[in-house]
Structure 1
Amino acid sequence: MNKCADINERLQKMKNFYLKLDEMMDKLPESIPADTKKMIKDKILGDKELKELMEGIDKNRPPRIFLVGRTGAGKSSLVNALCGGYVAEVGDVRSCTEGTKIYNCTDNGRTLMEILDTRGIAESEALNEKSAENTLINEINEFSPDVAMLVLNCTHRDDVDKDALFMKDIAAQYKKINNVRLPIIVAVNKCDEMSPTRFKTANEYPQNKIDKIEEAVKYFKGIIVNNGLKIDDIIGISALIDWQTKDGVEVDPENIKNLPKHDIEDLEMAFDGRYNIDELLQMLDKAMVDTEAQMGLRMAFRLEELVRRLSNHITNIFAGIAATVAITPIPIADIYVLVVLQGILVSLIASLSGRDISLETAIEFIFSLGGVAGAGQIFRFIAQQTAKLLNGLFPGAGSAVSSTVAFAGTESIGKTAIAYYIDGKDIKAAQKMFKKMQKDNKKK
């Protein structure tokens, strides 16, 4: 799970670039009017969502999840499936009572998620004793979960009503003590065991298997709702993963504990049968109220999605700024402003890919999309090649660029930069993509 360190570095690079934008705008040539510079700075640095995302890069914490489910529901497997590695046993940091255990999901020493596992306590007769129930409630309060997850077995329909009532009682007491509702997600696990059972790879599930999974989820949902338990969402999943040692020896789950510690810590996936785990993470994210926990979840498990969200958001911001700049017909000389603006956009997107590129390099990338070769003296080149630039980047614009053309052109450049820097497409594929978008823009 080394991708976490990589993405953190990429996000930090983007934040550093973002923090330097104010200074960068001030250093732009005087040919760009001061009020235009100020407008651009205010639009970028004043964007609330972008500001929150930038702050969230540093202000985040591991989400805390309260896990409830019967023995055999696959709670430990689900922990591993969420973390993308074998952590449920080696990550055991402490035991609370006989019925609970806390796991830390870690990557290179960084805690990604904390899980309070009841270890089948829902079926324990001890809960008939008020003292045992109070002890559990106290431990839940001390843990202070961001969300609770009730794990059910897709192929076992007995005692679901008891599990729902147990969760309902816990949620009611939590709200009474903390004066806040505990969000609850229901994960119907082991969907891979639904017939036809020979299909274990998620993208190979036949429609009749998917239909049976959906029917089971609907059945469980009915029981849960009819027992008065309020939930945030419910989903059918599979946490199926087969494990092997680094030297390729496959190990049955029940025998993993017999391996040397270093083998356990280095276990790799021999088979990935996970189903709907990304969708489950989305539900957990949506159910959480604490923004720092949300960002922690996104940075730990939804990293590429976070990068794409940031990339698309800043593209929309810059396209909007371009339209504002061009709210009235732009004199040819003012194309300079748009190209500089688009260069900053490309630099931001490149920073998210882990690359540090100069504004000059970013503008050369833009020129290459329109079929214009890069230049050493970039700003002088813009002035000299304005007509060619207009034809390459703003087709049909004539001697002035409308706000619609400026928006569409900047949006196309942003999307192409995402394809090149984030998705790893080569320059020829990026050029082809850009030209297609420009052709489509002409038709609008």
Structure 2
Amino acid sequence: MRQFDNIGRIFRSADENDTLLSQVSQYHDSHLPTLWLLGKTGAGKSTLVQAITGNSDAEIGKGFRPCTRTARRFAFPEFKPVLQFVDTRGLSESGYDATEDIKICTKQGHALIIVMKMGDTEQGDVLRAIRQIKSSQQINNSLIVHTAAHSVQDLQERERLVRYNCGQVEETLGSETTSVAVDFKLPEGGTDGVEGLVSALSEMLPIVAVALRKRQCSDEEVKKFQQLQTKVLWYSGVSGVSDIVPGIGLVAVPGIQWKMLTDLAEPYGTKWNKSALAELLGALGAGIGFRYSLKFGTRQVVKFLPGWGQTVGAASAAVMSFCTTYAIGRVACKYMYHKNRNEDVSNEELRDLFYSAFDSVKAVAGQEVAGMSKADHLSQNASE
């Protein structure tokens, strides 16, 4: 068990540096993957957020916060957020200028969601904003969402309206754009097209598939983890951020992971300590811990190499830290779930889960790191 003593000390010492971890988490929360909602008042933007997050009308209303003179942001979840929605409210204002909103969304913006109500073909304000966004060359992914689809009963007329509005947008953008039709409030109750919407969003923003896609499951352990999944994703994102700056990740990542494990223990009715860490690492096997330490240390050293190390090294370290933190969190949840019930779980099952969890968030990690690197590059250019 002595092989785990140093690891335990590293985790505890990093956990004590609250100032550093606070700075890293603040940076993460100000560079969240962003879905930029662009549409007229009444198009259904807030309802869209409600439908895919599962939050109530009241939570959505209270959750939006002003971020520019003409836009507001909604972070999801409210605490330890992993993505955000930005709603542009000033489209109908005379002389609306999207410059400030573009600046906010390009910090970590990955997708422009153009929301149009079915049957509303007067989209001049929206098209003018799209034209300005296109000229900025900063937002490359876009999706058209036609809301209130069932308000037009005739299917042929519905298709004609979709083609017309898509044509307007595509002519403005100069390229083809994916579109989906949804109805968030059917007359008979329920919704239509929400799953297709989430799938389309997931193609542009992988975090959506992990954090927002609702999956039916009968396994109680998996259900429990799904309730905590965004928390694990948040800690993973913060771990990745810490590797953007040379040297910090070596100290911060173990501390962030320790905080995560301590935070996760409470919902399972247990406490996280050095003994629990040793048990978990022992169950996973020394191979995983050794390979991670070796790769982690190598990436930290590479980050200090002039030129190449500052880009490739930092990106590799950030992706590695994100995926490893997520995998550790996932395995720890399963471990604590069964331990609390005095149930056995095989070491092989835990190891397999570690690797599958690691692989499942590679796309998420890669996009987040690329987005942060892009934001830093834009900030540096702006200051020069």
Q: Under TM normalisation by the shorter chain, which class is it?
A: 0.3 to 0.5
Task: Identify the structure with the greater helix proportion.
Answer: 2
Q: TM-score normalized by structure 1? A: 0.39
| Structure of higher RCO (CA pairs closer than 8 Å, 6+ residues apart) | 2
Computing the radius of gyration from Cα coordinates, the structure with the larger value is 1
TM-score when normalising by structure 2: 0.45
